[in-house]
Amino acid sequence: MSDIGARETTPGDQGKAGLGVTQFTLEGRCREREDLVAELARAPGTRLADFFGDVEEGGLVLRLVYAIESGERAYKMLDWPVVGGTYPSVSDLDPAAFVEECEIYEQFGVRPEGDELLNRLVVPPHAGHEFPRLGAAPPREGREPHAPHYVTGEAFEFPFGPVRAVAQESLYMGLVTSGEEVIDLYLLMWHKHRGLERRLRGMSLGKALFLVERAEGLSAVANSWAFCRAAENVLGVVAPEAVERARAIALELERVYNHAAAVAALCQATGLSVGQAQAEIALEELLRVNLAAFGHRYLFGTVAIGTMGRPLDEEVLSRQLPQAYGELRRVIESLWSTNSFMDRLEACGIVTNEQARRLGLVGPVARAAGCDMDTRRDHAFGAYTGSVVNVAVRERGDVLARMQVMAAEAEESVRLIRELARVGPPGDGRADGAGFAAPGQETAAGRGGSALGWCESPRGESLAWLSLDPAGKVRRARLRPGTFRNWRAFDDAARSRNVFTDIPIIEASFWLTVAGFAR
């Protein structure tokens, strides 16, 4: 890539290797950037992982994060200063960028060249110029393909939400149907926008971490670990081995309970009360393991910068986890032989391999569509550098394939936990938890810089890019949970020859959160 006139710099405090992020600042003309983006879009083993805006002194800079997954295996960042209020469309070259282009338009008021319709993401339709954003509001009201949505002919639109079934997150679904078949579907998620990235600006790292965890509580460990890794790289903090191991154990516990919850939701969606009750017993037992091991049912406060926010009681893992996971395995095994359940899953909500690649999907949704990817293996970090992670991949791309991937991943997570707990003498994590009060707050002063952190959440690759000002406060923090990537395939999955009652099944198999998307 460096032969296209790019100036190579390392981010953050120069020369601190370890995170493997290379940053390119392109000084050349726009045409060259476009060529580079086009080339990267075609390159095998290269994937556009994130795309976001950042206001610097010179104006808006767009940052493209690429994951290189063949050969050198690294994350590379391409900086693209915006000149003249617009930029050549990235989604024309790499369709995975479309949602991010919409986001950049909403947050910074800068749209790609051309007249393509942009979707509404998190700014409500009634919001005006004064609505709080990361940058300037769009100069004119953007046209929207959806909402108000006019449907003619045989079809009509069935509005559903934002208040939905019992204890479901707020989400508006526009279901276009002719009676039973789902012809089209669109989602509105602005009801849950809390402006997290904007709130993080100017915060100390300790405070920021508190909000990062609450961006998406069901991926709290993954998102906060990605954020902490970015912060640690900027600050030059290296977490002790025992801390890295305890974090990995927390991450795997998070994966197991999430997959158990997805199985319970699948049973509920298919009307299988017995299976649901059994899966919920497993889920509750797994949450109690979390509580006993780390002191929080959803593992909040576990990951801190350079240390553990909560000590790990490793004994719990051998005493309680096998029984709790045994419950889950029993349910899943009975489900495999329940025909009424399996019939609903097969050929339902298909995401093809081509869709998964074009849309840049991650996690179980992508793996169930034949994409062999997992950041724990492809960009090994922390305790994963020393262990083998077996990645489950299926080809069919339907709900059944997603459930098979989740079942295999839960099994693998429990194996990893056993392996990680065996490595060191028990109690190591606790001994290292001496500096409980996030040391970032003190050490951050005087260290500016930026870095990328990543992690594999139960929903897929979670990224966090952090830039600190010289005072050690957050200048810009970009959070990109796996959820943010995967919702974009939901309408495709729902349209693929499905009927109304398949929608909750597909939603359960994706197991995403609205909170993580709308942030």
Say which residues have a Cβ less than 8 Å from residue 271's Cβ, sequence separation at least 6: none
Residues 7-46 that bind other proteins (CB under 8 A): none
- Whether 413 contacts 256, CB under 8 Å: yes
**CA–CA separation, 60 and 84 (whole Å):** 10
Q: Which two tokens stand for residue 196?
A: 């997290």
Binding segment (CB under 8 A) for other proteins, from list 166-174, 338-346, 445-453, 462-470: 166-174
The region of 13-21, 99-107, 275-283, 312-320 touching other proteins under the rule CB under 8 A is 275-283
Looking at the Cβ atoms of 193 and 379, the one nearer to other proteins is 193
First vs last C-alpha separation in the chain: 33
Q: What's the closest the beta carbon of residue 164 comes to other proteins, in angstroms?
A: 8
Q: State in angstroms the smallest separation of the CB of 94 from other proteins.
A: 30
Q: Is 184 helix (H, G, I), strand (E, B) or coil?
A: strand
440 binds other proteins (CB under 8 A): no
Token representation of residue 299: 């593992």
Query: Distance (Å, rounded) from C-alpha 184 to C-alpha 187?
Result: 10
Binds other proteins (CB under 8 A): choice among 38, 74, 281, 342: 281
b/e sequence 92-101, b meaning 16+ C-beta within 10 Å: bbbbbbbbbb
The CB-of-51 to other proteins minimum distance in angstroms stands at 24
Smallest distance, other proteins to C-beta of residue 131, A: 7
Q: Which of 52, 298, 384, 465 binds other proteins (CB under 8 A)?
A: 298
* Binding string, residues 215-254; x marks residues near other proteins by CB under 8 A: xxxx-x----------------------------------
Give residues 173-202 in contact with other proteins (rule: CB under 8 A). 190-195, 199
Question: Which residues make Cβ contacts (< 8 Å) with residue 197, sequence separation at least 6?
Answer: 134, 476, 477, 478, 479, 519
d(CA 397, CA 356): 9
Number of residues in contact with other proteins, rule: CB under 8 A?
41
Closest CA to 75 of 476, 451, 478: 451
- The b/e string for 271-296 (b: 16+ C-beta within 10 A; e otherwise) is ebeebbebbbbbbbbbbebbebbbbb
In this structure, the dihedral spanned by the alpha carbons of residues 25, 31, 32 and 33, taken in order and rounded to 10 degrees, is: 40
Q: Is 310 in the site for other proteins (CB under 8 A)?
A: no
- Say how far apart CA 149 and CA 130 lie, in whole Å: 25
Among 165, 337, 339, 446, binds other proteins (CB under 8 A): 165
Task: Candidates 246-254, 280-288, 404-412, 437-445: pick the segment binding other proteins (CB under 8 A).
Answer: 280-288
Cβ distance to other proteins smaller for residue 278 or 450: 278
Q: Binding to other proteins (CB under 8 A): which residues in 127-156?
A: 130-132
- Contact residues toward other proteins (CB under 8 A) are 124, 130-132, 162-163, 165-170, 190-195, 199, 211, 213-218, 220, 261, 277, 280-281, 283-284, 287, 297-298, 300, 513-516
